[in-house]
Amino acid sequence: MLDTAALRAKYNDIAGGEPEGLWFGPGRVNLIGEHTDYNDGFVLPFALEKMAIVAAGRRDDDLLVMYSLELDDRVEIALSALAPGTGDWSAYLAGVLWALRTSGHTVGGTNLILTSDVPLGAGLSSSAAIECAVVAAVCDLYDLSIEPMDRAKIARLAENAYVGAPTGLLDQAASTLCKEDFGLFLDCRTLEGVHVPLPMSEQGFEMLVLDTKTPHSHVDGEYGARRKSCEQAAAILGIPALRDVTDLDDALAKLDDEVMQKRVRHVVSENSRTLEAYELARQGRLADLAPLLDASHASMRDDYEITVDTVDLAVETAKAAGALGARMTGGGFGGCIIALCHTGSGETIAQEIAAAFAAAGHRSPEWFIATPAGGAGRLA
């Protein structure tokens, strides 16, 4: 649990007085739809109870004063000096103020004291959690009326242009738009989002999220290579994006390169699995999501080739220990897995994975049971 008393005390130390309020942005996990976003496809994330919280208040001057409880670091910058590419952790906060100003909104000096329990760099989007919390805070403080999807776009602009990370809208849309006990089915072409019920506990299930703690290596290069392969395939097929493939066999027949065929098969099949998952969830058939999770993992392992030993071991052990379905979630080459489990069994399954990791000489994983939570807003 995050210590909001410590956050308020720190605000007092740094800014003098009480914050005007506390705002939060949740982390998120992707239920299904991996590497489909940049192919104009579909994704289905849900927000987590793990979140970033900012204690915030306006200032009389034009300074942005930021502090992270976790890093014990204070950064200060004048609003007029905000410029993309100023790299440390504070860019995720400062970038939002910059993005708001760039989009024509009037904002003034602000104190932002941050704490977060979203694990960093595990693929649970600690970055979007921060951005979306800051958007919520600054919109309330400066009376900006901005629609939820536009808030997500402001947060993405901060991450893309200010931080310099070329990500899609998935993370920020999930962190802004999600509802408790719902997933967010997002069409990455039209940017239309639909809430879809995920009443897991009601149906006797829980979702284990396990961080394999595998250090990512070569992720950026591999990500770039996958993207390029998809773009090249779409160009050969004469379609705007792989989302537009209507007949997979026909598309594969038109591609000579075996690696490219595998990449296309992943993207197209993952897109149909995500659509199918959306339909099943709409019908309340959560148990039937399990085979889709398994198929998604196999596709990421064999066709997209973005899993690693630890991730495969975690998924196999989860299944052997009784999970209904399991898959890697996130961009790949490490990060987290999710496992759909019967209520009360997630902890045992996680311990079996931890034992398998110990036996194989891997680092100890960390885990929690995830419940679909609500999107960014005011906490207090």
What minimum distance in Å lies between the beta carbon of 89 and ligand ADP? 3
**CB 283: neighbour CB atoms within 10 A?**
10
Q: Which of 68, 261, 310, 329 binds ligand ADP (CB under 6 A)?
A: 68
Query: What 3-state class would DSSP assign to 328?
Result: strand
* Token pair 């979140």 in the structure block, residue: 51
Residues numbered 108 to 137 that lie near Mg ion (CB under 5 A) are 125, 127
168 binds ligand ADP (CB under 6 A): no
Query: What 3-state class would DSSP assign to 147?
Result: coil
- In Å, what is the CA distance from 100 to each residue of 89, 106, 224? 18, 8, 29
329 binds Mg ion (CB under 5 A): no
Nearer Cβ to ligand ADP, position 113 or 349? 113
Whether residue 171 lies in the annotated active site: yes
175 binds Mg ion (CB under 5 A): no
Q: Which of 36, 110, 127, 329 binds ligand ADP (CB under 6 A)?
A: 127
Q: Which of 30, 110, 125, 214 binds ligand ADP (CB under 6 A)?
A: 125
175 binds ligand ADP (CB under 6 A): no
What minimum distance in Å lies between the beta carbon of 316 and ligand ADP? 24
| Catalytic hit among 37, 40, 117, 171 | 171
Nearer Cβ to ligand ADP, position 1 or 359? 1
9 binds ligand ADP (CB under 6 A): no
What minimum distance in Å lies between the beta carbon of 61 and ligand ADP? 23
DSSP state of 179: -
With CA atoms as reference, report the closest residue to 340 among 177, 186, 203.
203
278 binds ligand ADP (CB under 6 A): no
Strand ranges for the chain from DSSP E = 21-32, 42-58, 63-68, 73-78, 110-116, 182-187, 192-197, 205-211, 325-329, 336-342, 366-370, 377-378
Tokens linked to 229: 């392969």
Q: How many CA atoms lie within 13 A of 28 on its CB side?
A: 35
Phi/psi of residue 134, nearest 5 degrees: -70, -40
Q: Which chain residues interact with ligand ADP by CB under 6 A? A: 68, 70-71, 89, 92, 114, 116, 120-127, 130
